[in-house]
Amino acid sequence: MTKHENIDGKRLHERHFVLATDLDGTFLGGSDEDRDTLYTWIEDNRATIGLIFVTGRDPEFIADICAGTNVPWPDYVIGDVGTTIAEVKSGGAISPIGALEDDISRRWGAKGDAVRDALDGHPGLDLQPTPFRFRVSYDLRADEYDPSAPEKIAALDLDHLVSDNRFFDVLPKGVSKGPSLKRLVAHLGIAEERVLAAGDTLNDLSMLECGIQAVAVGGAEEALLNRVRDLDHVFTASAIGAGGILEAIAALDLHPTPKG
Q: Does residue 159 sit in the same domain as residue 110?
A: yes
Each residue's pLDDT tens digit, 95-147? 999 999 999 999 999 999 999 999 999 999 999 998 899 999 999 999 999 99
Picking from 247, 236, 216, the residue whose alpha carbon sits closest to that of residue 26 is: 216
Q: Does residue 179 sit in the same domain as residue 96?
A: yes
pLDDT band at 246 (very low <50, low <70, confident <90, very high): very high
- Please check whether residue 184 lies inside any domain of the structure: yes
- Region 160-179: mean pLDDT is 95
133 Ramachandran zone, left/alpha/beta (phi>0; psi -120 to 50)? alpha
- Please check whether residue 51 lies inside any domain of the structure: yes
- Please check whether residue 108 lies inside any domain of the structure: yes
Burial class (CB in 10 A: 0-12, 13-18, 19+), 23: buried
- Tally of domains within the chain: 2
Q: Does residue 139 sit in the same domain as residue 181?
A: no
Q: Does residue 129 sit in the same domain as residue 225?
A: no
- Please check whether residue 259 lies inside any domain of the structure: no
Of 172, 188, 213, the last residue of a domain is: 172
Task: Output the pLDDT for position 92.
Answer: 85
DSSP codes of every residue in 78-109 = EEGGGTEEEEEPTTS-EEE-HHHHHHHHHHHT
pLDDT band at 9 (very low <50, low <70, confident <90, very high): low
Task: Output the pLDDT for position 236.
Answer: 98
CATH number, position 110:
3.90.1070.10
The three-state secondary structure class of 243 is helix
Query: Rounded to the nearest 5 degrees, what angle is found at the Cα of 169, between the Cα atoms of 214 and 150?
Result: 110
Of 138, 156, 172, the last residue of a domain is: 172
CATH number, position 219:
3.40.50.1000
- Please check whether residue 258 lies inside any domain of the structure: no
Of 172, 190, 218, the last residue of a domain is: 172
β-strand pairing of 167-172 with 195-199:
unpaired
Residue 74 identity: P
Q: Does residue 73 sit in the same domain as residue 132?
A: no
Task: Output the pLDDT for position 91.
Answer: 83
Question: Listing from the earlier edge strand, what are the strands of the sheet with 195-199?
Answer: 94-96, 84-88, 76-79, 49-54, 17-21, 195-199, 214-218, 234-240
Each residue's pLDDT tens digit, 27-73? 999 999 999 999 999 999 999 999 999 999 999 999 999 999 999 99
Query: Rounded to the nearest 5 degrees, what angle is found at the Cα of 197, between the Cα atoms of 194 and 202?
Result: 160
- Other CB atoms within a 10 A radius of the CB of residue 225 amount to 13
- Mean confidence (pLDDT) of the chain: 94
Q: Does residue 185 sit in the same domain as residue 215?
A: yes
β-strand pairing of 125-127 with 136-140:
antiparallel
138: containing domain? 104-172
Q: Does residue 12 sit in the same domain as residue 95?
A: yes
User: What's the pTM?
Assistant: 0.93
Picking from 180, 201, 203, 181, the residue whose alpha carbon sits closest to that of residue 192 is: 181
Phi, psi of 234 (to 5 degrees): -105, 120
Task: Output the pLDDT for position 163.
Answer: 87
Q: How far apart are CA 137 and CA 84, in angstroms?
A: 14
- Please check whether residue 240 lies inside any domain of the structure: yes
Q: Does residue 77 sit in the same domain as residue 132?
A: no
Each residue's pLDDT tens digit, 204-226? 999 999 999 999 999 999 999 99
pLDDT for 4 beyond 50: no
Picking from 137, 112, 138, 143, the residue whose alpha carbon sits closest to that of residue 125 is: 138
- Other CB atoms within a 10 A radius of the CB of residue 229 amount to 10
Q: Does residue 235 sit in the same domain as residue 167?
A: no
- Please check whether residue 257 lies inside any domain of the structure: no
Q: Does residue 72 sit in the same domain as residue 185?
A: yes
- Please check whether residue 135 lies inside any domain of the structure: yes
Q: Does residue 181 sit in the same domain as residue 84?
A: yes
Q: Does residue 129 sit in the same domain as residue 161?
A: yes
